[in-house]
Amino acid sequence: MGGMKILFLKECCLGDLLMLSSALVQLKAQCPEAIIDVCVGPFARPVPEHWPFVRQVFEYPRFWGARRRPWGEWLRLMASLRREQYDQIFVCDVGRGAQIIATLIGGQGRVGFVHKHRRIGLHDWVERSPEDGIPEVRSYELLVERVLKKSLTATQYAYTVLPQEQAWADAWLRQRNLNSKNFVVIAPGGGKNPGTDMERKRWPVERYAGLVERMMGARGTVPLLVGAESDRETVEKMGESRTRTGEGIHSLIGESFGNMAALLAQARACVCNDSALLHLAAALRVPTVGIFGPTDPRLLCPLFPWVQSVWEPVECSPCYQQILGTYPPCNDYRCQKGITVERVLEALQKAIKV
């Protein structure tokens, strides 16, 4: 593919972009002269902005929460992308809407995902279904394999912390006298994306509180509670707890994705739900435990030895329909309630020892 100009289209979301990065890294390794651009939604932009191998990040106009449809912005974006005259376009979302966008952009070659044989304007494709059992990160690699005509076997995530973000994290830790301590990042939130609310992916808050209590009983371990602005209520509720020693809990809420990543990169370990933070920690090679319930860790957990998953596979789990992005009604959340603090602590020790 030499010096070809390539465009990846992927609207959302942060964790998905981190999984997609493995395909891009391996494509760049096979074709070092290739020029790679990406087009993402505004919510997902913080991830490709930290990929040094990407020339330019284009942004889809904001639709979620918009009072009016920004058709003018769409037309300007399409015109800009058409002027680039891409040699190859990868459509990394399932659905005809993404295929139509790729067709309007043009490009000599277009490859993407197809569900139920529905395709528009694609020259090649990878068929997807909720029952195919393909890990998400592997599905993106399959798209690139269709073009390269060779297998990709070196799965790896990409994320580079910027110098200014590193400086911010160093200062934040020094101010709290954490730079010399073994702090563990705890993220009890997640599951919220533009237009979707998947809070049922969260391990119960009281279990996270029990985990923090056990950690603070261990000498030299400092829990650091983190979350997005949408997680503020959950994180603050946990932050109000205290151990028998009276020692407080550090927390950080609503910070930028880049600064959060710089802080996470210095952590001893991380515990979180199936969320973007799970994939970010994996990209940064931080020993991590991902807690799964309605989603399937065999398809969505990062495939690295420093990442451990904890899952309670009751008869109705996993109930999340991969590809379709839907859940059936649920009233008891047995898959989450069946996971004990002891199992998470055991998985954490395994991750740390790798």
End-to-end, the C-alpha distance of the chain in Å comes to 37
Same domain for 170 and 238, yes or no, is: yes
Show which of 85, 118, 148 is a domain's final residue. 148
Residue 102 in domain = yes
Residue 125 in domain = yes
Tokens of residue 108, six digits? 């000599």
How many structural domains are present in the chain? 2
Q: Long-range CB contacts (< 8 A, 24+ apart) of 137-141?
A: 137/19, 137/20, 137/22, 137/23, 137/302, 137/303, 139/113, 140/19, 140/20, 140/22, 140/23, 140/92, 141/22, 141/23, 141/26
Same domain for 141 and 230, yes or no, is: no
Residue 111 in domain = yes
Q: Give the residue carrying structure tokens 């809990």.
A: 249
Residue 158 in domain = no
Output the CA–CA distances (angstroms, integers) from residue 118 to 7, 24, 96, 97, 131, in the order listed. Answer: 22, 25, 7, 11, 17
C-alpha–C-alpha distance, residues 23 and 141, integer Å: 5
Same domain for 168 and 299, yes or no, is: yes
Residue 53 in domain = yes
Same domain for 111 and 171, yes or no, is: no
CATH of the domain at 65: 3.40.50.2000
Which residues of 74-181 form beta strands (DSSP E)? 88-91, 109-115, 124-128
Same domain for 234 and 335, yes or no, is: yes
Same domain for 226 and 334, yes or no, is: yes
Rounded mean pLDDT of the chain? Answer: 88
Show which of 148, 175, 208 is a domain's final residue. 148
pLDDT in tens, 68-104: 667 888 899 999 999 999 999 999 998 888 999 999 9
Alpha helices in 5-114, H assignment, sequence order? 14-30, 71-84, 96-105
Same domain for 228 and 137, yes or no, is: no
Residue 154 in domain = no
Q: Say if residues 292 and 274 touch (Cβ distance below 8 Å).
A: yes
Tokens of residue 1, six digits? 């593919």
Same domain for 240 and 335, yes or no, is: yes
Same domain for 105 and 184, yes or no, is: no
Q: Say if residues 92 and 143 touch (Cβ distance below 8 Å).
A: yes
Cβ neighbours around 255 below 10 Å, total: 18
Residue 153 in domain = no
Per-residue pLDDT of the chain (354 residues; tens, 9 = 90+): 668 999 999 998 899 999 999 999 999 999 999 999 999 999 999 999 999 999 999 999 875 545 566 788 889 999 999 999 999 999 999 888 899 999 999 989 999 999 888 899 999 999 998 888 899 999 999 999 999 999 998 899 999 999 999 999 999 999 988 865 679 999 998 877 666 667 778 899 899 999 998 887 776 788 899 988 888 887 777 756 544 433 557 888 889 999 999 999 999 999 999 999 999 999 999 999 999 988 899 999 999 999 999 998 887 777 677 666 666 677 777 788 899 999 999 999 999 986
Same domain for 119 and 194, yes or no, is: no
Same domain for 189 and 289, yes or no, is: yes
Q: Which domain range does residue 144 map to?
A: 5-148
Residue 87 in domain = yes
Sign (positive or negative) of CA dihedral 26, 13, 348, 158? positive
Amino acid, res. 349: Q
Same domain for 183 and 124, yes or no, is: no
Show which of 148, 174, 191 is a domain's final residue. 148
